[in-house]
């Protein structure tokens, strides 16, 4: 018997309360996941809200005692659904939305490098990007990523590997430029 089958919410009100609590606890990470997948093709806030409302509509089906995975899976699916819509295919130029370079972490890394890497990540195919963010940001195992994305473990391994290779290729000119700079200064 699965965990979902064992779960018996006592009332709709209680389920709604558990849902709201889960959203409050996980909203930051969920928003970061949404933002990392949709990039600047859509509003991550809208993606998150839509995903959560979809989940709320069917909240009685799920076990809300451990909602992290469920919320993450829903947000990933909604983000992928949004950016796979034809009207989202056009890449909008980076306008400094969302992520701030004022965060302490970003402050440690050169702004230009961050911008270059972000642009490169944004150019990856969406399933590569989703697999990569679930691996490196959410620290999920390949099996968990496969479950989240509805793929097989070998597929996920391939996607992540190719995503990294593509990023390296996309960033190579920039890195070479960086390497040349100190030499020129010398």
Partner 1 sequence: MPISDTDLEMLETYLDGQLPLPLAEDLWRRLSQEPELSAEMDELRAQRAVRQAIWQSMEPDDVAADAMVRRVSSSIRSRRFMQQAQRWLTVAVAAAACVVVGFQLGWIEHGNGIIGASPAHGVQQVAQTPQAAHAYQVAIKDQNGNLIGTQRFDTQQDAVNFVNFLNTPQTAQSPTVTPMGRPNPGENIVPAADEQF
Contact between 81 and partner 1 by CB under 8 A: the answer reads: no
Contact criterion met (CB below 8 Å) for 88 and 80? no
Toward partner 1, which CB reaches closer, 90 or 105? 105
Looking at residue 92, the DSSP 8-state letter turns out to be P
Q: Residue 82 is inside which H or E element, if any? A: helix 68-83
Q: What is the spatial distance between Cα 48 and Cα 113, in angstroms, rounded to a whole number?
A: 28
Contact criterion met (CB below 8 Å) for 71 and 48? no
Q: What is the spatial distance between Cα 60 and Cα 171, in angstroms, rounded to a whole number?
A: 46
Contact between 114 and partner 1 by CB under 8 A: the answer reads: yes
Contact between 101 and partner 1 by CB under 8 A: the answer reads: yes
**Binding letters toward partner 1, positions 21-60, x by CB under 8 A:** --xx--xxx-xx--xx--------x--xx--xx--x----
Q: Given the rule CB under 8 A, which residues bind partner 1?
A: 16, 19-20, 23-24, 27-29, 31-32, 35-36, 45, 48-49, 52-53, 56, 98-101, 103, 105-106, 108-109, 113-114, 117-118, 121, 132-133, 135-137, 139, 141-142, 157, 160-161, 164-165, 167-168
């Amino acid at each position: 018997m699965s965990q979902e089958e064992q779960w018996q919410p006592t009332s709709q009100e209680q389920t709604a309360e558990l849902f709201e609590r889960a959203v409050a606890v996980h909203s930051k990470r969920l928003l970061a996941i949404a933002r990392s997948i949709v990039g600047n093709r859509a509003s991550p806030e809208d993606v998150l809200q839509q995903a959560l409302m979809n989940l709320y509509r069917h909240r009685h089906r799920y076990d809300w005692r451990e909602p992290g995975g469920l919320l993450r899976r829903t947000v990933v699916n909604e983000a992928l659904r949004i950016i796979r819509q034809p009207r989202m295919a056009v890449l909008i130029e980076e306008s400094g939305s969302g992520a701030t370079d004022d965060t302490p972490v970003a402050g440690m890394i050169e702004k230009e490098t961050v911008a270059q890497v972000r642009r490169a990540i944004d150019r990856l195919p969406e399933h590569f990007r989703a697999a990569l963010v679930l691996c490196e940001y959410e620290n999920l195992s390949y099996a968990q990523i496969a479950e989240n994305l509805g793929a097989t473990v070998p597929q996920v391994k391939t996607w992540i590997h190719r995503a990294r290779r593509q990023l390296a290729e996309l960033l190579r000119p920039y890195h070479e430029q960086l390497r040349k700079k100190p030499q020129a200064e010398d």
